[in-house]
Amino acid sequence: MSETSQRVVITGLGIVSPLGIDLEPFASELLSGKSGIAPLVLIPASAVPGHLGGEASDLNDETAASKWLKSQRKNLKVMSRETQLAVTSAIIGIEHSGLSMADLEHERVGVEFGSNQMHTPASVLRDPAFACSDKKLNFELARWGMDGLEKMEPLWLLKYLPNMPSCHISILADARGPSNSLTMIEASGNLCIGESIRIMRRGQADVMITGATGTRTTQIKALHARMYDELADFPGEPPETWSRPFDATRNGQVLGEAGVTIILETEAHAAARGAKVYGEILGTGSGCAIDRSGKPNFRLALVNAARAAFHDAGIGPDDVGHVNAFGLSDNVVDAAEAAAIHDLFGARGAEIPVTAFKSYFGNSGAGSGPLEIVASLVGLQTGEVLPTLNYRTPDPACRLNVIHGSPAKAANKVFLKLSVTCMGQASALLAVGV
């Protein structure tokens, strides 16, 4: 089915983040320049340096979960942390949009939701692992099917599948249109939004519930990050200063978590019900660059993804007011992203405003992209590009106009959002705020 020129607008924003739950608290903390990075409280210990990260602490206990997920209390036992973040954000996003679910044509409501891979907590694996171990605690894999699996919690598989956020959201919204789950770590959010707008352009849906969820602060996720990623470590310095995108003193990322829902509608559908519009999605693109040895080329992947987004949107680099950077605070990735920005914007590469929101709440993986999109929209509502925290020492390897200290006036409200994974999968999104 061919695509049309159908315009797609943003009418609802659901937030579960280290800066609070719901749009108003999130925006208030963001505009005040507050960081959500602090000592972790949900788990007693982790492999993360300093035991700190960007935790959605307002959803850290059963009382809070019951408040936001009251309508889902029967399903809580099969919701992992990631799914709880996602479903909470979806409930808030739908309410925020003002959509009357009873009045919708449910066959024309779809769900596209991204996530990280979900890992079973160590506490759940402990007894099954011991059951498959000899007297010297050597794990014997051959015994797993007979001795270990029977000790797993009965609904274990339903709790940790990465497509469960989309499933639960589809059920709660009675969304009977196109539904899909994408598991591309940090690239997921832009890709889900891109899939959503293409579905709507094809005329297959009027409303799409999209976004992504992710937590990297849990024990297993944090352990994997310690093994494979460059993690920030500034002993003795305040936690809120550890995430330093593009700064010369950066030494790694800070882990975080978030669940974000973005309600998209065709312009005609939103106008017919008089919906408040927060922005418009202009286009998206993707790219992957990796050599034969398996080494990712972040720079090329980002350039290819952004150029595809420009083609999809029908605009060029000169139309962009600011770049919402991936800004991981990783030495290699930040330098590669800066080079990609110079490739894309040419002589304007050192001048275009750049902001990086992981400085506020860390890297939640899949949840980070949509959360950062919302952050740009919040700033643009006041006509500003919000600043990057902790940027004090420019890095000659980056040569970017990183907005810091105070907001900058937005030349226009079009922005480019960049994301890339550790494996060289990149996604880009162009949107305009109102």
Q: What is the pLDDT of residues 328-367, one digit of tens each?
A: 999 999 999 999 999 999 999 999 999 999 999 999 999 9
Q: What is the DSSP letter of 176?
A: -
pLDDT tens digits for range 34-91: 999 999 998 887 789 999 999 999 998 777 777 888 888 888 889 999 999 999 999 9
Q: What is the gyration radius of the CA atoms in the chain, in angstroms?
A: 21
Spatial contact of 378 and 28, defined as CB atoms under 8 Å apart: no
- Cα separation, 117 vs 181, in Å, equals 11
| Number of residues in the chain | 434
What does the block give as tokens for 130? Answer: 């011991």
Cα torsion through 357, 359, 365, 368, rounded to 10 = -20
Q: Strand, coil or helix: what is 300?
A: helix
The pLDDT score that the predictor gives to residue 163 is 96
pLDDT tens digits for range 285-300: 999 999 999 999 999 9
**Phi and psi at residue 424, in whole multiples of 5°?**
85, 20
Query: Is beta strand 384-385 parallel, antiparallel or unpaired with respect to 401-402?
Result: unpaired
What does the block give as tokens for 179? Answer: 């539904």
The pLDDT score that the predictor gives to residue 224 is 93
- Cα separation, 76 vs 159, in Å, equals 9
In this prediction the pTM is: 0.96
Chain center to CA of 41:
21
Mean pLDDT computed over 216-244 = 95
Close Cβ partners of 238 (under 8 Å, ≥ 6 residues apart): none
Spatial contact of 205 and 177, defined as CB atoms under 8 Å apart: yes
From the list 346, 362, 149, the residue with the least C-alpha distance to 253 is 362
The angle that helices 331-345 and 298-313 make with each other, rounded to 10 degrees, is 40
- For residue 31, list its beta bridge partners: none
- Cα separation, 28 vs 426, in Å, equals 30
Residue 137 burial class via C-beta count within 10 angstroms: exposed 0-12, middle 13-18, buried 19 and up: exposed
**Residue % of the chain over a pLDDT of 70:** 99
Q: What is the DSSP letter of 101?
A: G
From the list 247, 248, 246, 253, the residue with the least C-alpha distance to 230 is 253
- For residue 253, list its beta bridge partners: 231
pLDDT tens digits for range 125-157: 999 999 999 999 999 999 999 999 999 988 888
* DSSP states of 226-256: HHHS-B---TTS-GGGS--TTBTT---B-BB
Place of tokens 């940027």: 391
**Residue % of the chain over a pLDDT of 90:** 89
Per-chain mean pLDDT for the chain? 95
**Phi and psi at residue 60, in whole multiples of 5°?**
-95, -5
Cα torsion through 224, 41, 76, 175, rounded to 10 = -70
- Cα separation, 319 vs 311, in Å, equals 13
The pLDDT score that the predictor gives to residue 161 is 94
Asked whether residue 2 carries a pLDDT value surpassing 60, the answer given is no
Q: What are the structural domains, with CATH classification, of the chain? A: 8-118+161-433 (3.40.47.10), 122-156 (no CATH)
Residue 347 burial class via C-beta count within 10 angstroms: exposed 0-12, middle 13-18, buried 19 and up: exposed
